[in-house]
A and B are shown apart, each in its own frame.
Chain A
């Protein structure tokens, strides 16, 4: 249970004693009247949260770019099935930039030529392959 402290205004502005050791163990909730208004956490916990938030924002931004590339590929697919059937194609910024029947050769050629940059590489097939990873791991 988080520790709660009632804020009062007998002296200006507020006065609250914070025990850093107990904040390390659990958050300190500051209330104004009955309303919780602030939570005080340790700096270590704050850094963990800030890092997590940064990772989530970066992941979200990457996800948007990936989604745009995927949509571009889906739009091109009918034509690619005529021109590049059973090949691997590579898109960057929504543009077809390379293709090869050998996936490994295509990937290494692109990374050597363009550097290690985000790409959208996919096989040109009528039906998308579904990969199975069935094993759930039960926590011990």
Chain B
């Protein structure tokens, strides 16, 4: 199934898809959110506000190197994530100051992601 890049929030348009994130063990406590795919990110991230909304608890911490190359130690959470009709759980996430979910290569490695920049479309499927 082909998806259209998100051109409303990103310039140039970016591959985004609606995903469901939530508790690794409680299928009720979930949120449907827009996720941006980032093949440059080693790990995935959720908006910081979700920590409170879903009452998440930390499961450790990670040393994360951001764009400024300054390493920061941040709490890590395990969540379930559902995208392209596939549910993965538990998946490591960090919380970040952002409004959408960021899906890094730790999740993308489970899929075949085909980007067509010219047509601003992409396909994501579980082989």
Q: Which A residues are closer than 8 A to B by beta carbons?
A: 55, 58, 62-63, 66, 69-70, 104, 107-108, 111-112, 116-122, 128-137, 140
Residues in B with CB closer than 8 Å to A132 are: 40-42, 64-65
B71 adjacent to A130 (CB under 8 Å)? yes
* Total residue contacts A-B, CB cutoff 8 A: 94
Chain B interface residue count, CB cutoff 8 Å, equals 35
- The yes or no answer to B43 lying at the interface (CB within 8 A) is yes
Complex CA–CA separation, A123 to B87 (angstroms): 24
B90 adjacent to A70 (CB under 8 Å)? no
A-B contact pairs, 28 of them (CB 8 A): A66-B58, A69-B60, A104-B89, A107-B24, A107-B78, A108-B90, A111-B24, A111-B25, A111-B78, A118-B57, A121-B60, A128-B63, A129-B63, A130-B64, A131-B43, A131-B64, A131-B65, A133-B38, A133-B42, A133-B64, A133-B66, A133-B96, A133-B104, A134-B41, A134-B65, A134-B66, A136-B68, A140-B11
7 closest A-B pairs (Cβ-Cβ)? A136-B67, A118-B57, A131-B42, A133-B41, A131-B43, A107-B90, A121-B60
B11 adjacent to A133 (CB under 8 Å)? no
Residues in A with CB closer than 8 Å to B65 are: 130-134
Enumerate B31-63 residues with CB–CB distance to A below 8 Å: 38, 40-43, 45, 52, 57-63
Q: Which B residues are closer than 8 A to A by beta carbons?
A: 11, 23-26, 38, 40-43, 45, 52, 57-68, 71, 73, 75, 78, 89-90, 94, 96, 98, 102, 104
Of A55, A63, A116, A137, the residue contacting B25 (CB under 8 A) is A116
Residues in A with CB closer than 8 Å to B102 are: 133
Complex CA–CA separation, A104 to B87 (angstroms): 14
Complex CA–CA separation, A63 to B41 (angstroms): 24
Q: Given A128-B63, A135-B41, do A66 and B11 touch, yes or no (CB 8 Å)?
A: no
Q: Given A121-B60, A131-B63, do A116 and B23 touch, yes or no (CB 8 Å)?
A: yes
Of B11, B26, B52, B63, the residue contacting A130 (CB under 8 A) is B63
Residues in A with CB closer than 8 Å to B60 are: 69, 119-122
In the complex, how many angstroms separate the beta carbon of A65 from the nearest chain B beta carbon? 8
Residues in B with CB closer than 8 Å to A107 are: 24, 59, 78, 90
B25 adjacent to A70 (CB under 8 Å)? no
Residues in B with CB closer than 8 Å to A130 are: 63-65, 71
